[in-house]
């Protein structure tokens, strides 16, 4: 993203005066200098937060601001502006009522534009040559199509730039599903399912055991930096302890050989291959179960934090992609989702989960996009 922005800056500067390009560097951090007036411009991302420290600044343009943790602004941006009384321009599609929303309320100047306010939106190069009335007709057709295909709250947030309560949250009713006494040892006559999300490098491996008889989590474990030999032994031990429970495991890439090893050890394996489509289905089934309080979960702070912070974003092709925010883990979410995937679906109605998730009435204040 930083490179993309910097390419635009270079293009603009070259049109204005080609001499300005003499002091342009594409090496990270991309930097553009104007020594005649002792000025510079840099494009940076938050991937390396320490790089945000440095010189005092007169102006910061903070793009996609609502998607960044509040500490990025508070610890790295505000301090560099304060000594020179610099200005901040925050640009973003809203993402719930977070720090960006609070700054918006206090801003000296604020602007709100809907996507359709862009005169070139949804138009091809050929359509841009059409008369204004015909261009507007094409845009309105696309606008109506989006309004009908997306849940109301997502449409209002992503295309009307409205701040929505909990619009960034995928899982609702999480705390209503808490059962302080759900964790328990194996019971005779009960059937169990193991959801296993395998950790990669710094991620965690999480084991969730779900009682298929009562739809509740009865065992939960999370660990990392353990050799896969010991991980497989631990998974096998837990599965055998819970009446030789069926194991549902991510068999994509890394999980495939581990799945085969677990099968050789006599475990009953149901492999689940992660793809954009399958992950969406997995998350949406878990969302329905939580929304309708069809399952019980332990009062575990790690699990609760992951569930409540888990969000989504809309791609340029208008696909909804679920993921944890930057800096958060989602291993516990997917372990639970895999366990829920194996539950008998007799209680689970087939509904549009996003409409189910986002159907509460809301108020829509203006926003800054």
Q: Is the pLDDT of residue 363 over 50?
A: no
pLDDT above 80 (res 349): no
* Residue 148 clears pLDDT 60, i.e. is over it: yes
42 — pLDDT class (breaks 50, 70, 90): confident
d(CA 367, CA 162): 6
Is the pLDDT at 158 greater than 80? The verdict is yes
The CATH class for the domain spanning 175-357 reads alpha beta
Q: What's the pLDDT at 364?
A: 35
The pTM assigned to this predicted structure is: 0.58
- pLDDT for 368 equals 34
Most confident of 94-108, 288-302, 343-357: 288-302
Lowest mean pLDDT among 110-124, 138-152, 238-252, 329-343: 138-152
Domain-wise residue ranges, the chain: 2-117, 175-357
The pLDDT tens digits for 284-302 are: 899 889 988 999 999 999 9
């Amino acid at each position: 993203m930083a490179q993309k922005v910097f390419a635009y800056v270079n293009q603009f500067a070259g049109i204005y005066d080609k001499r300005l390009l003499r002091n342009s560097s594409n090496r990270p951090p991309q930097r553009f200098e104007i020594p005649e007036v002792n000025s510079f411009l840099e494009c940076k991302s938050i991937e390396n937060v320490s790089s945000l420290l440095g010189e005092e600044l007169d102006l910061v343009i903070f793009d996609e601001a609502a998607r960044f943790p509040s500490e990025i602004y508070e610890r790295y941006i505000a301090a560099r502006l304060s000594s020179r009384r610099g200005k901040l321009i925050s640009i973003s599609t809203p993402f719930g009522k977070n720090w960006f929303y609070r700054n918006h309320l206090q801003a000296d100047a604020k602007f709100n534009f809907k996507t359709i306010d862009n005169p070139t939106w949804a138009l091809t190069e050929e359509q841009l040559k059409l008369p204004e009335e015909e261009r507007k007709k094409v845009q309105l057709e696309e606008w109506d199509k989006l309004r009908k295909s997306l849940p109301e709250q997502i449409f209002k947030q992503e295309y009307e730039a409205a701040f929505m309560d909990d619009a960034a949250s995928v899982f609702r009713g999480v705390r209503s599903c808490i059962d302080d006494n759900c964790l328990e040892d194996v019971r005779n006559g009960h059937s169990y399912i193991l959801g296993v999300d395998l950790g990669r490098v710094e991620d965690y491996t999480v084991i969730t055991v779900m009682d298929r008889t009562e739809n509740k989590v009865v065992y939960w474990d999370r660990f990392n930096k353990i050799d896969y030999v010991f991980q497989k032994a631990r998974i096998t031990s837990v599965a055998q302890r819970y009446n030789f429970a069926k194991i549902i495991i991510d068999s994509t890439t890394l999980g495939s050989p581990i799945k085969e090893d677990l099968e050789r050890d006599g475990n009953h394996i149901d492999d689940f291959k992660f793809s954009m489509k399958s992950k969406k289905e997995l998350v949406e089934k878990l969302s329905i179960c939580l929304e309708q309080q069809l399952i019980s979960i332990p009062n575990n702070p790690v699990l609760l934090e992951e569930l409540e912070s888990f969000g989504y974003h809309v791609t340029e092709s208008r696909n909804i992609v679920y993921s944890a925010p930057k800096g958060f883990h989602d291993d516990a979410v997917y372990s639970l989702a895999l366990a829920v995937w194996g539950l008998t679906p007799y209680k689970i109605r087939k509904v549009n989960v996003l409409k189910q998730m986002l159907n509460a009435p809301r108020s829509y204040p203006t926003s800054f996009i």
